[in-house]
Structures are given as C-alpha cells and as structure tokens.
Amino acid sequence: MTQKAQTHHQIKTQPRQRSQPQVKAQAQGSALRDHLILAKPGIVLLVLVVALAGMYVGQRGMPAASLIFFTLTGIGLATAGSAVLNNYFDRDIDGLMPRTMYRALPQGRIYPANAFLLGSALIVVSVLIFYFRVNGVTAFLTFLSAFIYVVPYTILMKRRTHLVTHVGSITGALPPVIGYTAVRGRVGVEAAALFAIMFVWQHPHFWALALKYKDDYKRGGIPALPVSKGVKGAKLRTLISCCILLPVSLWPYFIGMSGVFYLVLAAALGAFYIYLALKFYLSEKEKDRLLYVYSIVYISALFTGIVLDMAGG
C-alpha cells in the first residue's frame, strides 16, 4: 500500500471527532432526558387522564379551557415533583436493584441536591397555581397528595412494612378528586365514588408490579407484599382486591352519576379482571405481565366509560 493510500485508509477508519458544540448539545440532551425520566412521565400522563375525567364529572361536560389548562398544569407539576422527590429519597436503594440502578441519581448524573430542589420547586409552584388560579380546596388536596406520597409513603413506611401500599393508594386516588374540586370547589359524593374506585384499583395494580420485581425489592430491602407475605399471599390478595373492585366500580351507577352503558362496561371490565386474577392465582406462575397491563387498560377504559356515558346521556 502506498503512503498516500495508507494515510487515506487511516483517515477513513478513525472515528470522526465531534465538535465541541455537538458534544455540548448531546450532554444537554442527555441531562434533559434524565430529568424527564426522573419525573416519571408515564405516571404523570395517567394522572392527567383521570384528573381530566374528574373535571368532566364535576362539570357534567367539558370545563372552560383556561380551567383545564391551570388544573392539568398544576396536577402535572405536583405529580412530577413528587416523583422527583421519591427518586431523591430512594437513590440509595435504587442503586441496589437492577431495574433502577441505572437511573440518573444512583449513577451520579444528577446531583442529589439539584433533584431535591427541583422536586420541591415543582410542588410549590403547583400549589401556588391551584391557590391563585383555581381554588383553595384543590391547592390543599394537591399539597396533601404530595405530602402523603413523599413523607408517610416514601420516607417513613416504604422500607418498613408492606402496608405502605394502603397509604400510597390514598395519594394515587386523589387526582380525580382534585379534578372534580377544581370545578366544584368542594368534595361531593361523586368525587368520593371516583376516589373509592382509584383507591381499590391501586392495590392489584401495584401488587402485579411487585410480583414482577419481587427479587429486586428483596435485594433492595423493601418489604413489598410478595417479599413479606410470599408470592401465594400476594396473589390471593390481588384476587380479593379485584373482587372488591367490581362492586365499588358500580357505585357511580347507583348514585345516578352514570347510566346503563357504564354499568355494563364496568361489570364486564371488572368480571374479566377477576377472571385474570383467578387464573393467575390458580397457576404456578410467580408473575403475570398480562395482569399488570390489563390493570392500566382497565382504569383507562373505566374512566373513559364514565365520560362517554355522561356525554351520551
């Protein structure tokens, strides 16, 4: 090979050096992505959906666009802020579990102090938005939801007892109530029905996830239900909670909040949920991805059904 050809070959095979602006842009993109993941956008999206359904129930139709904007912005920020603080306080145990060890905080890509300040700021801004642009009731409920998730759930109970699921279910059940009170300015029986559905649903939803990641929770020292009560105990409680969820989901019909369409839909969705839980309980499997996926489909379809029933009525 001639010297010229050899030089040309070396130039072609050497990796192309990125310019300083390219490196900087990539680093900024990675940092933005890390912060977005820290805020758990999937959970935020689900919260926004059920909160909007709560607003629709409270209004008996679609509220004003400005109210929707401020309410969804507020609850989205509060949910994101709570998730960031949850990641902040769990960063040590996250580093022990394969599912979470590559998150930004355990890996040191985000400074813990920055995460704490970001999470706190998001919650404060959220509460201020609700107080000044919506009403005081929603501001209080939003603060209460964030407080329960961060302090009793994450800090005090998560590493001590499987009963933390019951506490976490309270904060998980508040978004549709917050949406409802954003319109009405008070908590009514319809909001209580939405709360009850979400509260009961949280249990089989989370336990299906806990069964999937049982070994991770055990490695991280978290006494989730499958760890503290065993796989069979968790499967049994999942089945029981699905059985409880069916009659609770019918509550909107019996208080005149929805009609026959919703009644049939809720009964069908609930019966199939019980079938999946029973099938899982009787099987030798220790985890069931279908049951977890269906839990998300179930709650989305149920709240969509409430809205469609009202729209059609």
Domain ranges for the chain, please list them: 37-187, 188-313
The topology under which CATH files domain 37-187 is Tetracycline Repressor; domain 2 (1.10.357)
The confidence score (pLDDT) of residue 22 equals 42
As a whole number of Å, the CA-based R_g of the chain is: 23
Q: How far is Cα 280 from Cα 292, in angstroms, rounded to an integer?
A: 11
The confidence score (pLDDT) of residue 157 equals 96
Specify the pTM.
0.88
Would you give the distance in Å from CA 165 to the centre of its chain? 13
**Residue 31 pLDDT class (50, 70, 90 cuts):** confident
* Averaged pLDDT of the chain: 91
The confidence score (pLDDT) of residue 73 equals 97
Give the percent of the chain with pLDDT over 90: 84
The pLDDT of residue 243 is above 80 = yes
Mean pLDDT of 194-223: 95
Query: Which of the residue ranges 28-42, 96-110, 162-176 would you say has the lowest mean pLDDT?
Result: 28-42
**Residue 35 pLDDT class (50, 70, 90 cuts):** confident
The pLDDT of residue 194 is above 80 = yes
The confidence score (pLDDT) of residue 27 equals 47
Phi first, then psi: give them for residue 140, nearest 5 degrees. Answer: -65, -45
- Tens digits of per-residue pLDDT, 268-294? 999 999 999 999 999 999 999 999 999
The confidence score (pLDDT) of residue 313 equals 65
Give the ranges where the chain is alpha helix by DSSP (H). 3-13, 20-38, 41-59, 65-89, 91-94, 104-107, 112-133, 136-148, 164-173, 175-184, 189-212, 214-219, 225-228, 230-249, 251-254, 260-282, 289-312
Mean pLDDT of 184-192: 95
**Residue 259 pLDDT class (50, 70, 90 cuts):** very high
The confidence score (pLDDT) of residue 30 equals 82
**Residue 15 pLDDT class (50, 70, 90 cuts):** very low
The pLDDT of residue 222 is above 50 = yes
Under 8 Å between Cβ of 95 and 101: yes
Q: How far is Cα 60 from Cα 1, in angstroms, rounded to an integer?
A: 81
Query: Which of the residue ranges 12-16, 122-126, 214-218 would you say has the lowest mean pLDDT?
Result: 12-16
**Residue 150 pLDDT class (50, 70, 90 cuts):** very high
**Residue 142 to residues 13, 136, 194, 239: CA-CA distances in angstroms?**
57, 10, 16, 31
The pLDDT of residue 26 is above 50 = no
